[in-house]
């Protein structure tokens, strides 16, 4: 380190108090040299420390304006000391000082909160100027390391921006999923209350009024049937609630598992796996709901097709039947709770009217959707679009 011949970094200000400086370096000889250099009209060395830990104690006691911090020290290095110092005293300026041109260390020191960075073999005016810049709230980086530091900081900034963007997207997805699951849960009470009310009403009728054995048996059969529907509904709702817990799985494999429980089902899928982010239990329930609906409205013995296609931005699963189709006036309401395509007076396909509702809610909980792609006649097509795995 040499004292340069250029003009002083700052003119002495007669009315301004001197900048208080704490010098931190584990080399006593170099530390004394720094004290001599910094002994100017504008600067006052208020203390010396030989380690980062000692510096933290002295900062609290001496309240310096600027800390001239060595980077490489035993016990606690300058990077760690600077990080702790800036957390406790964010207003204090820190100038990093080292004998090595280490751009990685420069980056870490600046990230820790240092205002500037100079090399130990810089001329004296460069060190003085760095201290003055830090006292004024600015910063200075030694020209010998500036290009590398800028490159390192730019790369680090770009990484942080990408990470922040990814975190924002993940946060938005979590909020959306939470909203969907809240909507699902808020509707459970209403949806469960309807079949329970029916069962309760028939039970009260049996209890209050005398009926002949045939009527009594018929009502008990209806109670049992409704109770069975309710049990199945609860099982499906439980699966729907857990839909947000997804994994990387093969849609075609799940479809084949479901198809094994049905007759007259054909699967048309790519030869390779069709991978997507899904909850396997919920995925099975979605396909079962769509299959139950397709087979209920298909002529007896008619084939139902499950078609799976891998698109650029999604996996698409279609369940296709050859039944009478759906009235266009009902196609917009088919996913509403307790909605069925048949009126109560002429209904031949019994159910609680929640199958398609649950299928859609489960699909949306996994960032996909179930829609009626083609209402018929001739063929009815339900489309389950799965979001790509992220």
Asked if residues 346 and 353 have their Cβ atoms less than 8 Å apart, the reply is no
What tokens were used for 21? 């400086």
pLDDT at 315: 93
pLDDT at 350: 39
Question: From CA 21, how far away is CA 67, in angstroms rounded?
Answer: 6
pLDDT at 226: 78
pLDDT at 4: 47
Question: From CA 47, how far away is CA 44, in angstroms rounded?
Answer: 9
First-to-last alpha carbon distance for the chain, in angstroms, is 54
Helix or strand or coil: residue 352?
coil
Q: Could you report the per-residue pLDDT of 78-137, keeping only the tens digit for each?
A: 899 999 999 999 899 999 887 765 667 777 888 888 887 888 887 788 888 888 888 887
CA angle 219, 222, 228 (to 5 degrees): 145
Q: Which fold has domain 19-144?
A: Rossmann fold (3.40.50)
pLDDT at 351: 38
Flag residues of the chain having pLDDT under 70: 1-15, 100-103, 138-157, 160, 163-164, 167, 170-171, 173-174, 177-178, 180-191, 193-194, 235-246, 337-354, 388-390
Closest-CA residue to 321 (of 342, 299, 348, 294): 294
pLDDT at 54: 92
Would you kindly state where each structural domain of the chain is located, as residue ranges?
A: 19-144, 163-386
pLDDT at 236: 64
Radius of gyration for the chain, computed over Cα atoms and rounded to the nearest angstrom: 37
Asked if residues 360 and 382 have their Cβ atoms less than 8 Å apart, the reply is no
Q: Where are the beta strands (DSSP E) in 211-313?
A: 247-250, 265-268, 275-278, 304-310
Assign residue 188 a region: left if phi > 0, alpha if psi is -120 to 50, beta otherwise?
Answer: alpha
Second-level CATH architecture of 163-386: 2-Layer Sandwich (3.30)
Q: Could you report the per-residue pLDDT of 342-377, keeping only the tens digit for each?
A: 433 333 343 335 678 888 888 888 889 999 999 877
Closest-CA residue to 357 (of 374, 348, 367, 369): 369
DSSP secondary structure letters along 295-348: HHTSPTT--EEEEEEE-SS-EEEEEEE-SS---TTTTTTTTSTT--SS-SSS--
pLDDT at 13: 44
pLDDT at 325: 85
pLDDT at 127: 86
pLDDT at 348: 37
């Amino acid at each position: 380190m040499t004292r340069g011949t250029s003009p002083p970094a700052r003119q002495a200000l007669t009315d301004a108090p001197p900048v208080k400086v704490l010098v931190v370096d584990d080399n006593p000889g170099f530390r004394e040299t720094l004290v001599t250099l910094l002994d100017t009209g504008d600067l006052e060395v208020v203390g010396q420390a030989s380690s980062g830990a000692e510096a933290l104690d002295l900062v609290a006691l001496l309240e310096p304006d600027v800390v001239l911090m060595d980077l490489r020290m035993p016990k606690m290095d300058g990077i760690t000391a600077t990080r702790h110092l800036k957390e406790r005293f964010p207003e204090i300026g820190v100038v990093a000082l080292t004998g090595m041109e280490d751009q990685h260390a420069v980056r870490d020191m600046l990230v820790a909160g240092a205002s500037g960075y100079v090399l130990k073999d810089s001329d004296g005016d460069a060190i003085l100027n760095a201290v003055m810049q830090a006292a004024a709230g600015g910063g200075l980086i030694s020209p010998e390391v500036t290009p590398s530091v800028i490159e390192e900081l730019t790369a680090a900034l770009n990484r942080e921006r990408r990470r922040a963007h990814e975190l924002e997207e993940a946060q938005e997805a979590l909020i959306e999923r939470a909203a969907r699951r809240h909507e699902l849960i808020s509707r459970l009470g209403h949806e469960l209350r309807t079949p329970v009310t029916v069962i309760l009403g028939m039970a009260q009728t049996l209890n209050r009024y005398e009926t002949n054995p045939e009527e009594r048996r018929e009502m008990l059969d209806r109670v049992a049937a409704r109770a069975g529907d309710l049990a199945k509904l609860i099982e499906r709702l439980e699966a729907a609630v857990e839909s947000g817990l997804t994994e990387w799985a093969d849609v075609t494999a799940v479809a084949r598992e479901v198809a094994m429980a049905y007759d007259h089902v054909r699967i048309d899928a790519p030869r390779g796996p069709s991978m997507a982010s899904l909850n396997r239990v919920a995925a099975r329930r979605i396909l079962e709901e769509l299959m139950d609906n397709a087979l209920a409205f298909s002529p007896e013995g008619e084939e139902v097709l499950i078609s799976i296609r891998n698109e650029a931005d999604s996996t698409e699963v279609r369940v296709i039947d050859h039944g009478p189709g759906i009235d266009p006036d009902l196609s917009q309401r088919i996913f509403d709770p307790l909605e069925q395509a048949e009126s109560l007076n002429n209904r031949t396909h019994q159910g609680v009217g929640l199958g398609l509702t649950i299928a859609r809610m489960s699909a949306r909980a996994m960032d996909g959707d179930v829609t009626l792609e083609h209402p018929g006649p001739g063929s009815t097509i339900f489309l389950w679009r799965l979001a790509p795995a992220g």
